Structure 1
Amino acid sequence: TVRLGSVFNNIYYINQCDFLGLDEKVFVRGFPSDLTNVKIGYTFFNQEKRVVSNIGLWTKSPDVRAQDHIFYPELDVKQMGLKKLMVARNNYISYTVQNTSFHIDTLPAQYEFPMSEKIDSKGVFKIGRYDDILQGLILQKVVSKMDDRITFGPPQATHNRHPHDYGQDVVEEIFGDRLVRELLDNLGKIDIYGHDYYTLTSNLINKLKECHFTFNDYFQKVMDNFLLWLELVDKVSN
């Protein structure tokens, strides 16, 4: 356990970009689009909790939504020496995994959603860029139930971004954003029970299988794969 400053806000979703000292108002990749016009108020307090994962942030190019890269092509994080903060219980944050560490106890909840897959019944629309974001929401539901914490801030890594087709990224993020909103709504309705990460994750995935999503065939397939992942984790852990 460690004693650190904790942060929560009025929308229950932390925007890491608010802590990077940027002049531009931008949002981290995965931030729910329906919350971008809500005035965010942050509250800080100290807590002593077990930390089970850390999200390191960036210098240079921050991991923001594709549309923010279009609006602000010269985005440049120069602020160093960020303070490490805990995400308060029942708050969410985009679990961006370029610079992330996690405790092995959380392994059952570390199955990433497959990307670049067609997610509609006609096989027209493709999802992308949200594999870690969606998995991270499931992880955080379990972390909160365990009353553990995720931190963000240092260590900062220089993000040398490779060339992107931002127009294509915007299209793929549209469908990821829809899943984020539906997943957050369903997570808010679900109670889970258990005393370890495996039991809680298994309980959560089975309850999510009972929920309906716009792209339900895709989501149900991912949940089936998640259950297979849990079987594999169980086998290698015993």
Structure 2
Amino acid sequence: MKTTIVTTTIYIPELLRVYAKNAKDFGHTEIDFVVIGDRKTPAAVKEFCAQLDRDFYPTEYMDIEAQRQYLEPRFPELWQHLRFDSIQRRNIGILRAWENGADTILTIDDDNWIMNQDFVSLHGRVGTTIEVPTITATSGWYNVCAHLEDASNQPFYHRGYPQELRWKDYESFTTTTVKPVQVAVNAGFWLDDPDIDALTRMHRSIQVRGWKNPAQGSFALEPGTWSPFNSQNTAIKRDVIPAYFLSPYIGRYDDIWASYFVDRIAQHFGEVVVFGDPWVRQKRNPHDYWKDLDAERVGMRQTDRFCEALRGISLTGSSYHECFGQLLAGLPEAWAEGPKWSQLEKDGRSDLLQGLRIWHEVFDTILATNTSKLLRRVAVETVESVPGNGTAVLR
């Protein structure tokens, strides 16, 4: 089973040496890296990745020109849609990893430092069945950060958790059952600086010290009980990727709304998102909280309605790609513009729908091409020479 670790960076990603050494120490062989650059990425990253390739595992660095050569000939709309100077160029690395045959695509941020755990194996449970405590909430929502211990014992929520549901956990009844579950996504947690929204950061300082209950460990959410998950320290199984698009036009809700698409489709297939191990220590890069707040405004206002729309769309597809197409077809009507929407919200909706369409068409093209190649190969393999006359038959 092949695992590809994907990251974007505007720095020299020294932490990748630590990830590579960790994988080596635990005996992993089917590993490679894809590093996506941007206009601010130092030129020295190319040589750094080449050295990582020589010392550890295959490592592909894609600068802007390499990205253009990869996307523009086949997928010009996607090339035009993805902004420069944005973390959402991660889509290119995810697509590259998928096309290169990754079974597990593991996305990390360049400020996530690995702990002394078997990082690849813990994330490698995606696509498998494991037995784990599984939580059901009558509200259909669960605050996964309730399992984390803050240094000052303050409660907090994952970035992107619906605003209208916060501080109402007492209204929901939860049950936990240990049972086997099929894992679609494994979302690792973070020590020190957790993934919370800018409004919370401006209001209080949160420092994660670990589990509230150290014996508890990883847990899953029952299909139909949702939580956001992000795109750092996150493993996604191959089948999910055609339904996982990070929009560059909805600010800091790119990975959040992508996670809600996955929540909805995973629910349809009876699959789960697991939260917990492996942990990373987040040494967060510098941020302007006011800019972050501006980038979260549309998501904060629209997430409740967006998720309500997703929940209301019926699914009948037999793959994540098919179900993604059904959500895309139903979303414009289910999530219609309201009279009080700001222009920013209207533009965000329009650009998001455009990006989702482009991503779906990309995989329409790839999957159709792959099917055609498979049929041709099968045809060739079934051609046999008939003894005695040298003619060929197709069986």
TM-score (norm 1): 0.88
Deviations 1:128-152 (A, max 9, x none): 2110001111111011101111111
Is 1:19 matched with 2:173? no
Structure 2 CA distance, aligned partners of 1:61 and 1:217? 32
Report the more deviating stretch, 209-218 or 100-109: 209-218
Structure 1 CA distance, aligned partners of 2:248 and 2:143? 24
Match in the other structure for 2:271: 148
Map 1:99-118 onto structure 2 (within 5 A): 99-115=233-249
Q: Is the 8 A contact 2:142 2:225 kept in 1?
A: yes
Structure 2 CA distance, aligned partners of 1:65 and 1:131? 13
Q: Which has the higher contact order (CA 8 A, sep 6+)?
A: 1
Unaligned 5+ runs, structure 1: 116-126
Quote the offset at 1:217 in angstroms: 4.2
Q: Say how many residue pairs are matched.
A: 226
Larger Rg: 2
Deviations 1:183-223 (A, max 9, x none): 11112221111111111111111111223034344323322
Residue 320 of structure 2, aligned match among 183, 186, 197 = 197
Residue 220 of structure 1, aligned match among 347, 350, 353 = 350
Match in the other structure for 1:76: 207
Q: RMSD in angstroms over aligned alpha carbons? A: 1.8
Q: Is the 8 A contact 1:107 1:233 kept in 2?
A: no
Report the more deviating stretch, 10-19 or 175-184: 10-19
Match in the other structure for 2:43: none
Quote the offset at 1:39 in angstroms: 3.0
Structure 2 CA distance, aligned partners of 1:21 and 1:42? 20
Is 1:229 matched with 2:359? yes
Deviations 1:33-77 (A, max 9, x none): 11113134432112222101110010111111212212223x221
Q: Is the 8 A contact 1:11 1:35 kept in 2?
A: no
Structure 1 CA distance, aligned partners of 2:220 and 2:265? 16
TM-score (norm 2): 0.54
Unaligned 5+ runs, structure 2: 1-128, 371-395
Match in the other structure for 1:179: 302
Structure 1 CA distance, aligned partners of 2:158 and 2:348? 24
Match in the other structure for 2:136: 8
Q: Is the 8 A contact 2:191 2:208 kept in 1?
A: yes
Structure 1 CA distance, aligned partners of 2:166 and 2:133? 25
Residue 257 of structure 2, aligned match among 122, 125, 134 = 134
